Chain A
Amino acid sequence: DGGITQSPKYLFRKEGQNVTLSCEQNLNHDAMYWYRQDPGQGLRLIYYSQIVNDFQKGDIAEGYSVSREKKESFPLTVTSAQKNPTAFYLCASKYAGQEENYGYTFGSGTRLTVV
């Protein structure tokens, strides 16, 4: 079955560490997105990529980095510069073009906790 796989489901990070969240899709989607979800604040866009080897900052990119070396993969690194990284992280993808006709497909999320 096609879909988006995020791993791990739960992740614990010590203060000062960088951690990388994985996002892989086999839907042949062109565009991929990372969102952060905090209680009562909805979803906020961190980074997005519409094609391989290209990506753009979203609304809250500070303290995060991404890469898009393959169409299927869009890993997110939460760096030590991110002051409040504890949150639920969601990855999504969609076909480029015909954007008004297609919603996103979401992964099941990674819950990151700083300990």
Chain B
Amino acid sequence: GNSVTQMEGPVTLSEEAFLTINCTYTATGYPSLFWYVQYPGEGLQLLLKATKADDKGSNKGFEATYRKETTSFHLEKGSVQVSDSAVYFCALLTGTASKLTFGTGTRLQVTL
């Protein structure tokens, strides 16, 4: 079956530090890959996506590249801000039912 593995958190960084959150997946077929962000007490917001191998998704300074050879979709940002503090979920989507499979989430805490 499909599965997503994320690095465990929490990840604590100082403002302006470089961020990497690792995500690897197992899937049948050719999934689309997503990163969602969840701020405290809220639902999930789509951060970025990639639909085929070697695609790079980007938004708000965050980037992730779909690596088929390593089945990875690591999230990166060059300089984090306090406002980036949230929980980040990696997810994949495949199949006719369009069901998203999520990782367990990684909490990011950015301090001044």
Contacts and interface: CB of A to CB of B under 8 A. Distances in A.
B89 A42 contact: yes
A99 B53 CA distance: 16
Interface residues of A, number: 28
Contacts of B42: 108-109
Question: What band does the interface of chain B fall in when counting residues whose beta carbon is under 8 Å from A?
Answer: 20 to 34
Q: For chain B, what secondary structure do more than half of its interface residues adopt (helix, strand, loop), or is it mixed?
A: strand
B95 to A, nearest CB: 8
A99 B93 CA distance: 8
B99 A100 contact: no
Contact of A103 (B34, B97, B103, B105): B34
Contact of B104 (A4, A42, A50, A101): A42
A74 interface: no
Given A107-B43, A108-B42, A108-B43, A58 B99 contact: yes
B6 to A, nearest CB: 8
B97 A48 contact: yes
A81 interface: no
A100 B51 contact: yes
Q: Would you list the 7 A-B pairs with minimal beta carbon distance, nearest first?
A: A106-B43, A99-B98, A42-B104, A100-B32, A103-B46, A106-B44, A43-B102
Interface of A: 4, 6, 31, 33, 35, 40-43, 45, 48, 50, 56, 58, 90, 92, 94, 96, 99-101, 103-109
14 contacts: A31-B98, A33-B100, A35-B102, A40-B104, A42-B89, A42-B104, A42-B105, A43-B102, A45-B100, A50-B98, A103-B49, A103-B93, A105-B46, A106-B43
